[in-house]
Amino acid sequence: MNRLLRLYPRPWRERYEAEVDELLAERPASLRDRFDLVRGATDAWLHPQVAAPASTAADGAGGAERLVVAGSSILGGLLLAAAGLSMNATPLNATVGYKETGVAGALLIVGLIVTGISAVLGARGRRTVIPATTMLLGGLLTLAGWPILIVGFLAYAIACVILGLIRLAASGPVGILFMAIGITLPSFNTEDERALLLVPVGLAWALAGVVVGRRLPALTRSASTAR
Amino acid sequence: MTTPTSELGRFAEPSLYILVSLSDGPKHGYAIMTDVEEMTGAPLGPGTLYGALARLERRGLIEALPPDDRRRPYRITGLGATTLSAQLAHLEGFVRTGLTRLGGAAR
């Protein structure tokens, strides 16, 4: 098998790999063909044309469940972005010395929990269930307040990076977004302008939800034409 | 006019070549590739070929036939033939206009 074909998304490989492999056996790939395959793989990730088989699309989950995944991802992301904006606009509490209180703090905690729920509902198989559940538990731990909240927050961030790494192979854009979220979160700080880091983090979550949501009609359509 | 091939991006031109190649009967990937190279003089890379095939198949302009060993032939659908016909008619008008203008300029 041509190693470059491994660059393609799994659903694409399941559909076309044998054919392309046979073609390359008849006409060995030139250097130009190799570049063409890399370009084709990039396109296949950015503009998926082949539906994931039902077993890998969402562990057999129906369209309604995936809509909930997309919706909770978008909602949680917007809550996180709102938390960042709110914290940045809130003056430092002179009594307690931090901002994890009031509306901004509530938005942050609810945002972490809702996105954690989205991660769990969207988990595919045991490998992704463990980090996704860790994210949800991390979000729930932030309810306990200082200092336990920092443990929950870091657990959420680390699990998000791990989940991103795992999902990179099956759903590239979402995997990259998860990794970016997990890497960005430890730099977040409620007490200064770094609170605004929650805005790109929240938008990344919302974008992940949009990516999942956009795949819904595409999956349905191409499943019917692929038969 | 919006046609099923107008949204194929950088695959629009290869898609047109593929539809023309399939217009005289089903072919598998390698046969399409060599046919297009004979028609246009330019090789069609495997990534471009299968990127275009995936788009055409998803839009219902071509369909896959049962595989022959590891090679799977494709054939043009009714929608594909109609689309190709419209595209070629459009190109024919464009070519005629260009040649007429060139002829006028040469005089």
* pLDDT tens for each residue of B34-76: 999 999 998 899 999 999 999 999 999 999 999 887 789 999 9
Domain interval for residue B49: 9-106
Could you tell me the two tokens for A168?
């990179």
* Residue A74: CA count within 13 A, CB half-sphere: 13
CATH of the domain at B81: 1.10.10.10
The answer to whether residue B4 sits within a structural domain is no
From chain B, the residues in CB contact with A223 under 8 A are none
Number of domains chain B is built from: 1
The answer to whether residue B2 sits within a structural domain is no
- Residues B87-102, mean pLDDT to the nearest whole number: 92
How far apart (Å, rounded) are the C-alpha atoms in residues A133 and A27? 48
Q: What is the mean pLDDT of each run of 10 residues along chain A (227 residues)?
A: 80 90 89 90 81 50 70 85 80 62 80 85 75 85 80 86 77 79 80 78 82 57 36
Q: Which residue is it, tokens 């909240």?
A: A149
The answer to whether residue B3 sits within a structural domain is no
How far apart (Å, rounded) are the C-alpha atoms in residues A162 and A96? 34
ipTM of model: 0.86
Cβ-defined contact of A36 to B46 (cutoff 8 Å): yes
The answer to whether residue B42 sits within a structural domain is yes
Q: At what angle do helices A63-89 and A102-122 cross, to 10 degrees?
A: 160
Give the nearest partner residue to A36 out of B47, B57, B70, using CB atoms.
B47
From chain B, the residues in CB contact with A35 under 8 A are 45
The answer, for A11 touching chain B at a CB cutoff of 8 Å, is no
The answer to whether residue B1 sits within a structural domain is no
Q: At what angle do helices B29-40 and A10-26 cross, to 10 degrees?
A: 60
Predicted local confidence at residue A99, as pLDDT: 57
